[in-house]
Amino acid sequence: MRGLYNALWLVALPFICLRLLLRSRKQPAYRQRMAERFSFYSRAALAHRASSQQPLIWLHAVSVGEFLAALPLIEHLLARGDCRLLITTTTPTGSAQVQAKLGARVQHVYAPYDLPIIVKRFLKQYQPRLLLVMETELWPNILRACRQRNLATVLVNGRMSARSARGYRRLGSLSRSMLADVSQALVQYNADGKRLVDLGLPQERLQVCGSVKFDIAISESLRVETQTLRNQWPHPLVWVAASTHPGEEQQIVAAHKQLQQQVPGALLVLVPRHPERSTEVLALCQNMAVVTRSSNSAVTAATDVLLVDTLGELMLFYGAADIAFVGGSLVAHGGHNLVEPAVWGKPVLSGPHVFNFATMAEEMTAAQALTTVADDDALAAAIAHWQAQPEAAQAQGNRGLQFAEANRGALQRVLMALAPYLPDTV
């Protein structure tokens, strides 16, 4: 099975590169630093080898969501002062966030493609002492190469949805051997752990730690910034639709038009998951007054939609809005992080497609901290209801905040589980 997997990689690789080039027509970053994906690096990317003898920890976070979830862990590791961090991502948006949040405090390159010769070259160049993989980004050849070099690999904040488990199950023996190469799996929920064990992870290597996404911290400066921003908006109601996807924005815009009939002057803050789609999303907002975030134009009482075409500001807009809708859920994408608006004490809405966050959504619903809507009509009705009954909106927001606070502590459990692998105990 591994031989077939490698053969498929070889066949697919030219098409993967072609896809990157095609995507680069709208987002040039996709064709930049492409050599890194084949483990060829600039002198600057390798300069660390001569600058420090501290052991290197490799942390892989596929994109923005995984990186932001890892950020508190990264800060703890950096604060130790006894190791260096190499962070790999797959997407340019993830790369941009690493550079924006951490800059020169860490090393960053794109993750290598999962072919043995490419992985071998990567490990030879960087020589990490430990691999931390965020959530579900598991690659058979990377894990096998690490095990062959006695390099521990730990899955952090691991999750395995029922849909993903079905996909891995089709790989048969390859999935089993891949999970046998994992040194430790620190997962979010019991259901995630059970699926991983069913797929081949040894039971003794499993630990349920909870989700580190609950350990998000809001700085006082960010609180002040959100309040200042909200005070600048004269609208009676501001709602944010966050991390939206194709096929979803049409429903959100339709919901906002309905809402404005009941709440004149309402403002929609629309945050596409991928900012490079902003032109496409803008075209959906016909006959509406739209301000783009990147234009730095003022949002006035006449503004219907603020289109956020920038990166890294989602928490700011969650804090400034009155109500939050978490996207990727009105279409079959699987949803996104429901905790981020909850920690602000905002009432949270989601569509029905939350299979990537199924347990979190179920628990929040049971705690009356999440309202699920099926379509644009239901979305508009729910927001209008909360506008008419602010006490009900505040009560749900408070329940969401209480739910988030009750689930804190995963980060400390993760750090305790990682202690045997960290440099001073290796």
What's the CA gap between 289 and 298, in Å, rounded?
12
- DSSP code at position 299: P
What's the CA gap between 172 and 175, in Å, rounded?
6
> Based on the domain organization, do 229 and 160 belong to the same domain?
no
Would you call 41 helix, strand, or coil by DSSP?
coil
Residues of the chain with pLDDT under 50: 425-426
With left for phi above 0 and alpha for psi between -120 and 50, is residue 251 left, alpha or beta?
alpha
> Based on the domain organization, do 323 and 372 belong to the same domain?
yes
Q: What is the number of other CB atoms lying within 10 angstroms of the CB of residue 361?
A: 23
Q: Is residue 142 part of a domain?
A: yes
- DSSP code at position 36: G
CB 303 within 8 A of CB 269: no
> Based on the domain organization, do 45 and 160 belong to the same domain?
yes
pLDDT at residue number 397: 98
Termini Cα distance of the chain? 34
Would you call 138 helix, strand, or coil by DSSP?
coil
> Based on the domain organization, do 31 and 115 belong to the same domain?
yes
User: 208-233 in b/e burial notation, b at 16+ Cβ within 10 A?
Assistant: bbbbbbbbbeeeeeeeebbeebeeeb
> Based on the domain organization, do 124 and 255 belong to the same domain?
no
Number of structural domains (the chain) is: 2
Catalytic-residue membership of 66: yes
What's the CA gap between 354 and 351, in Å, rounded?
7
> Based on the domain organization, do 196 and 339 belong to the same domain?
no
CB 92 within 8 A of CB 64: no
CB 192 within 8 A of CB 186: no
With left for phi above 0 and alpha for psi between -120 and 50, is residue 200 left, alpha or beta?
left
Structural domain for 41, as ranges? 18-210+409-425
> Based on the domain organization, do 190 and 292 belong to the same domain?
no
> Based on the domain organization, do 339 and 390 belong to the same domain?
yes
> Based on the domain organization, do 185 and 64 belong to the same domain?
yes
Closest by CA to 106, choosing from 74, 72, 66, is 74
Domain holding 40: CATH number? 3.40.50.11720
> Based on the domain organization, do 402 and 414 belong to the same domain?
no
Q: Give just the sign of the alpha carbon dihedral 242, 246, 251, 253.
A: positive
Q: pLDDT by residue (tens digit) across 213-240?
A: 999 989 999 999 999 999 999 999 999 9
- Our CA dihedral for 277, 283, 286, 291, rounded to 10 degrees, sits at 50
Q: pLDDT by residue (tens digit) across 95-104?
A: 999 999 999 9
Domain holding 336: CATH number? 3.40.50.2000
Q: Is residue 94 part of a domain?
A: yes
Q: Longest Cα pair distance anywhere in the chain, in angstroms?
A: 64
Q: Is residue 267 part of a domain?
A: yes
pLDDT at residue number 295: 95
CB 154 within 8 A of CB 421: yes
pLDDT at residue number 28: 86
Q: Is residue 4 part of a domain?
A: no
The catalytically annotated residue of 36, 66, 135, 249 is 66
> Based on the domain organization, do 418 and 364 belong to the same domain?
no
> Based on the domain organization, do 227 and 370 belong to the same domain?
yes
Q: Is residue 13 part of a domain?
A: no
pLDDT at residue number 51: 61
pLDDT at residue number 53: 79
Q: Is residue 215 part of a domain?
A: no
Q: Is residue 237 part of a domain?
A: yes
Q: Is residue 230 part of a domain?
A: yes
